């Protein structure tokens, strides 16, 4: 990888990201069941019906995992706190859960690592789901109570906090496409989730402001959409995909409006007086996080709204089948700043790929990952050179983990994990990054 810290502005942060359900082991420490435990127990939802009950047992191995973050010369560790661990029934605090995140925080600080928390990376307690989950407007208040519980314990030591990881996944992927928990395919549930997820974001930001916290942000996943051909129909559908995936959330949080092409379909299913919630949703944040992986080629499928069809693209692909398209990251950094966030700091909060990594003679060669990282960092540098205020870049992920519906098949880590012995082995890309990021 051809870069060093000198190629980035002073104070630019490099980090690695994980999430609680994907690594901790949901059966440990008195955590309650979360929606993923039940979703995975339903045949056909996850690869081999795999779940995160043990995951990679980070709950017991966090000290040595944080040693890997420190030895990799990363500045930041982006982790998530699990609502189901902190409040197993959704409402009552589990002291063991608070203690765990307290220990984890101190273990980061002891190693000079900046703690970057996400309050929700999809660990919905099932009693909340039973009350309608993201369909129920009250979730915004319940989420604010959870925010208060965890942040009144560890908020004094956080470097940064974002309430919700990837609202598109929380709402659209999980309630319209049905690929993620709770696995619904229901436009009314989707419209409500699309709105309530942003309302909960706003309430959590307000709650943390009331606690006196600073450096609060929002984290979105963006996918670049190109028309599958030169027809006006493909252009229209690519714009709709962009609206649903990207502009809905940026528009909501930074402009207090939703895109017209998305409201065309969701409008009739929105909760009453949704417009009145924008003052909460637009509560100012201090930075905007972008998770970026790929692009899609989009055309019409001829069916009912939204009527989108994904067409296979010609570019090199990762193990997930995702095209490698670093220009998309440049496009999003520049467009987000120019159209939505202005001078607000931007952080690439996730970027990375899955590859078929195997251990041979004690080492793991992952050249596709190194090349991917290098190309995406070039996009970051290009945006910075044009004056876009990009302040950090975090890799997904520190180590191989539970990749949701794909189970343990997709390895996104810089560190290989043997899922039988749980042994950690840093891959070649990890060693290269550690070298390039020396201070």
Query: Using the rule CB under 6 A, is 396 a contact of ligand FCB?
Result: yes
Mark whether 10 is an active-site residue: no
* Shortest CB 165 distance to ligand FCB, Å: 5
Query: Using the rule CB under 6 A, is 249 a contact of ligand FCB?
Result: no
* Shortest CB 121 distance to ligand FCB, Å: 6
Answer yes or no: are the C-beta atoms of 22 and 84 closer than 8 Å. no
* Shortest CB 19 distance to ligand FCB, Å: 5
* Shortest CB 302 distance to ligand FCB, Å: 29
**Of 46, 221, 246, 351, which one interacts with ligand FCB (CB under 6 A)?**
221
Residues in 324-353 at the binding interface with ligand FCB, rule: CB under 6 A: 350
Binding mask 33-72 vs ligand FCB (x if CB under 6 A, - otherwise)?
Answer: ----------------------------------------
Task: With contacts defined by CB under 6 A, name the span among 108-116, 164-172, 197-205, 378-386 that binds ligand FCB.
Answer: 164-172
Answer yes or no: are the C-beta atoms of 416 and 426 closer than 8 Å. yes
Tell me the C-alpha to C-alpha distance, in Å, between residue 371 and each of 16, 314, 326, 428.
Answer: 17, 18, 11, 12
* Shortest CB 272 distance to ligand FCB, Å: 31
Q: Which of 24, 123, 323, 350 is catalytic?
A: 350
User: With the CA atoms of 221, 210, 115 and 436 taken in that order, what torsion angle do they form, in degrees rounded to the nearest 10?
Assistant: 60
Task: With contacts defined by CB under 6 A, name the span among 30-38, 58-66, 372-380, 396-404 that binds ligand FCB.
Answer: 396-404
Residue 46 C-alpha from the chain's centroid: 19
Instruction: Give CA–CA dist 167/265, Å, rounded.
Output: 18
**Of 50, 166, 226, 323, which one interacts with ligand FCB (CB under 6 A)?**
166
Q: Kindly state the number of chain residues that form the binding site for ligand FCB, as judged by CB under 6 A.
A: 12
Which residue's entry shows tokens 């939505």? 340
Q: Which of 166, 223, 323, 403 is catalytic?
A: 166
Q: Which residues pair with 80 in a beta bridge?
A: 118
Residue 375 C-alpha from the chain's centroid: 21
**Of 194, 261, 403, 432, which one interacts with ligand FCB (CB under 6 A)?**
403
Q: Which is nearer to ligand FCB, 98 or 288 (CB)?
A: 288
Q: Which contacts qualify for 146-149: CB closer than 8 Å, 24 or more apart? A: 146/83, 146/86, 146/87, 146/90, 146/119, 147/119, 147/203, 147/204, 147/207, 147/208, 148/207, 148/211, 149/86, 149/87, 149/93, 149/98
Helix (H, G, I), strand (E, B) or coil at 223: strand
Query: Using the rule CB under 6 A, is 19 a contact of ligand FCB?
Result: yes
Instruction: Give CA–CA dist 224/241, Å, rounded.
Output: 9
E strand or H helix that includes residue 290: strand 287-300
Mark whether 63 is an active-site residue: no
Instruction: Give CA–CA dist 152/352, Å, rounded.
Output: 32
Region of 92 (left: φ > 0; alpha: ψ -120 to 50; beta: rest) is beta
Query: Using the rule CB under 6 A, is 81 a contact of ligand FCB?
Result: no
Q: Which is nearer to ligand FCB, 219 or 234 (CB)?
A: 219
Q: Which is nearer to ligand FCB, 341 or 397 (CB)?
A: 397
* Shortest CB 23 distance to ligand FCB, Å: 10
The residues binding ligand FCB (CB under 6 A) are: 19, 22, 165-166, 169, 221, 291, 350, 396, 403-404, 412
Catalytic residue IDs:
166, 350
């Amino acid at each position: 990888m051809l870069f060093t810290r000198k190629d980035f502005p002073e104070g630019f942060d490099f980090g690695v990201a994980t999430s609680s359900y994907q690594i901790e082991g949901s059966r440990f420490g008195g955590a309650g069941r979360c929606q993923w435990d039940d979703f995975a127990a339903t045949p056909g939802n996850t690869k081999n019906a795999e779940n995160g009950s043990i995951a990679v047992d980070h709950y017991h191995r966090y000290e040595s995992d944080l040693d890997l973050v420190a030895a990799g010369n990363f500045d930041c560790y982006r982790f998530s706190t699990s609502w189901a661990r902190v409040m197993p029934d959704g409402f009552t605090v589990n002291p063991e859960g608070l203690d765990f995140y307290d220990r984890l925080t101190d273990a980061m600080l002891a190693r000079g690592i900046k703690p970057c928390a996400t309050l929700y990376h999809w660990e919905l307690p099932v009693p909340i789901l039973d009350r309608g989950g993201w369909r129920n407007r009250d979730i915004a208040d319940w989420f604010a109570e959870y925010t208060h519980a965890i942040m009144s314990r560890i908020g004094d030591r956080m470097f940064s906090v974002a309430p919700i990881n990837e609202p598109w996944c929380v709402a659209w992927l999980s309630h319209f496409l049905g690929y993620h928990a709770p696995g619904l395919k229901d436009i009314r549930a989707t419209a409500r989730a699309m709105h309530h997820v942003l309302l909960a974001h706003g309430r959590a930001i307000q709650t943390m402001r009331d606690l006196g916290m600073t450096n609060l942000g929002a984290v979105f996943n963006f996918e670049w959409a190109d028309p599958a051909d030169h027809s006006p129909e493909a252009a229209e559908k690519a714009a709709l995909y962009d609206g649903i995936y990207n502009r809905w959330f940026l528009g909501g949080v930074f402009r207090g409006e939703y895109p017209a092409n998305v409201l065309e379909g969701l409008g009739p299913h929105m909760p009453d007086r949704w417009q009145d919630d924008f003052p909460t949703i637009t509560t100012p944040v201090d930075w905007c996080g972008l998770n970026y992986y790929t692009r899609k080629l989009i055309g019409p499928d001829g069916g009912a709204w939204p009527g989108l069809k994904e067409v296979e693209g010609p570019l090199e692909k990762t193990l997930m089948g995702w095209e490698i398209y670093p220009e998309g990251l440049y496009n999003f950094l520049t467009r987000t700043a120019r159209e939505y966030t202005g001078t607000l700091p931007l952080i690439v909060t996730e970027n990375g790929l899955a590859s078929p990594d195997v251990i041979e003679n004690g080492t793991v060669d992952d050249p596709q990952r190194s090349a991917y990282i290098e190309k995406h960092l070039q996009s970051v540098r290009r945006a910075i050179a044009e004056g876009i205020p990009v302040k950090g870049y975090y890799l997904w992920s520190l180590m191989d983990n539970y990749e949701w519906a794909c189970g343990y098949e997709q390895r996104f880590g810089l560190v290989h994990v043997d899922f039988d012995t749980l042994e950690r082995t840093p891959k070649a890309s990890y060693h290269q990054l550690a070298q390039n990021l020396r201070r």
